Amino acid sequence: MVGHITYMSDASMTEKFGRMRKRDAQPFKFTADFEVEGYLNYRGSSFVKRFDANSYLYITKAMDNYDASDGRPLQIALEEVNAKVMVIAFESDWLYPPYQSGEIVKACKLCGIEATYCRINSSYGHDAFLLEVDEETHLIGHFLAKLDRDSEAKADYDRQ
């Protein structure tokens, strides 16, 4: 339930639930009085039935401990990268906020890495990557097409 709140934005939670009370609310009893509580109880219960809690703990621990820079400053870690980079951020993502994506792009550029930064205006929070598929498809397709054109142009130049 806590994870689900983290993945949605404040705006999407407000839009979806606000302060709406459940029809069968029983004030001053420890039951779900608000629609958001009923929703979170349902989502939490269905998640527990289909996902092993220990797996979730291990995945969370792995994510918390993963450090692509291996303790080095980001710019130094990125000096080893020999690729063009695309970073996509979502405006309302609390889990991976856009400012962190901006730091990655800045470090890439300081290392001379060609980096493309796309910030998608979405109110879906971290779940936006699951819901803004059309926008992501368009941006990634454009990025890959440019890579292909650049590669063909380089091959033509090399043949001359």
Task: Give the domain CATH number at 143.
Answer: 3.40.50.1820
Give the residues across from 86 on adjacent strands: 116
Residue 38: what residue type? G
Same domain, 25 and 80: no
Same domain, 58 and 75: no
Q: Out of 44, 64, 84, pick the residue that ends a domain.
A: 64
Q: Find the helix or strand (DSSP H, E) in which 31 lies.
A: none
Domain termination site, one of 11, 41, 64: 64
Domain boundary among 35, 64, 93: 64
β-bridge partners, 118: 88
Residue percentage of the chain with pLDDT more than 70: 92
Same domain, 59 and 74: no
Indicate if 134 and 78 belong to the same structural domain: yes
Q: Could you give the number of structural domains in the chain?
A: 2
Q: Are residues 97 and 144 in the same domain?
A: yes
Where in the sequence is the domain holding 127, given as residue range(s)?
68-159
Residue 39's pLDDT is 82
pTM score over 0.75: no
> Measured between alpha carbons, how far is residue 74 from residues 15, 63, 103, 108, 121 in Å?
37, 17, 9, 9, 26
Under a CB-based contact definition with an 8 Å cutoff, are residues 117 and 87 in contact?
yes
pLDDT above 80 (res 5): no
66-121 per-position pLDDT tens digit: 888 888 889 899 988 999 999 999 999 988 999 999 999 999 999 999 999 999 99
Who's near 130: CB < 8 A, 6+ residues apart?
124
Helix (H, G, I), strand (E, B) or coil at 21: strand
What is the spatial distance between Cα 16 and Cα 130, in angstroms, rounded to a whole number?
Answer: 17
Same domain, 153 and 85: yes
Residues 7 and 52 both lie in one domain: yes
